[in-house]
Chain A
């Protein structure tokens, strides 16, 4: 069964203090790895798709990277508006495969 483990569970940063969130995964052939952002009381919002090891994607202060076993979401000089829960998800290759989510990292950025 596909598994996604995210760490840390929670992270508190000062504004401007860069850091990384980790997503470790086990899947029988990776079709795609996905990052989402979820604000309190809202549905998850899609951020990135990564398909193969070595791939990187960037959006504003966020950069996602992928290896064969894990993905990192790097946050550079975060601002308070980056505070949210960040979810990682994977989809296995072969036929129609469901998307499996991790439990997320709750990020709080303090002014």
Chain B
């Protein structure tokens, strides 16, 4: 059973389009995250939700909108895609009491042409 699963694994799209990535975890964790990994492999947090409540919102353009329908799901919608949005987006989860012990999905590679 996959612990943290995200779909799709690959997205290729044109500038200006809108896209969504979905994430689900079956670990019973109460906190979920979106991370962005750029071409230099730098992993940076974007958002964090605890029990459906937004608790971390880094300096991310408001074209990026996360949504957590329940504590097992966290989706990411991106409007008006730009070339600089090309990256690998990772979903992760943890227990709030063990924030650094993150369980990551396999990533969604977004390419904007």
Are A91 and B55 neighbours in the complex by a CB distance under 8 Å? Answer: no
Taking beta carbons and an 8 Å cutoff, which residues of B are in contact with A?
A: 4, 40-45, 48, 55-56, 58, 90, 92, 98-107
> Which residues of A56-111 are within 8 A (CB) of B?
85, 87, 89-91, 96-99, 101, 103-104
Q: In the bound complex, what is the Cα–Cα distance between A43 and B58 (angstroms)? A: 21
Q: In the bound complex, what is the Cα–Cα distance between A91 and B42 (angstroms)? A: 16
A45 interface contact, C-beta 8 A: yes
Are B43 and A44 neighbours in the complex by a CB distance under 8 Å? Answer: yes
A-B pairs with beta carbons under 8 Å apart, 29 shown: A32-B100, A41-B106, A41-B107, A42-B107, A43-B90, A43-B92, A43-B104, A43-B106, A44-B102, A44-B104, A45-B104, A46-B103, A49-B98, A49-B101, A87-B43, A89-B100, A90-B100, A91-B99, A96-B55, A96-B56, A96-B99, A97-B99, A98-B48, A98-B58, A99-B99, A99-B102, A103-B40, A103-B41, A103-B42
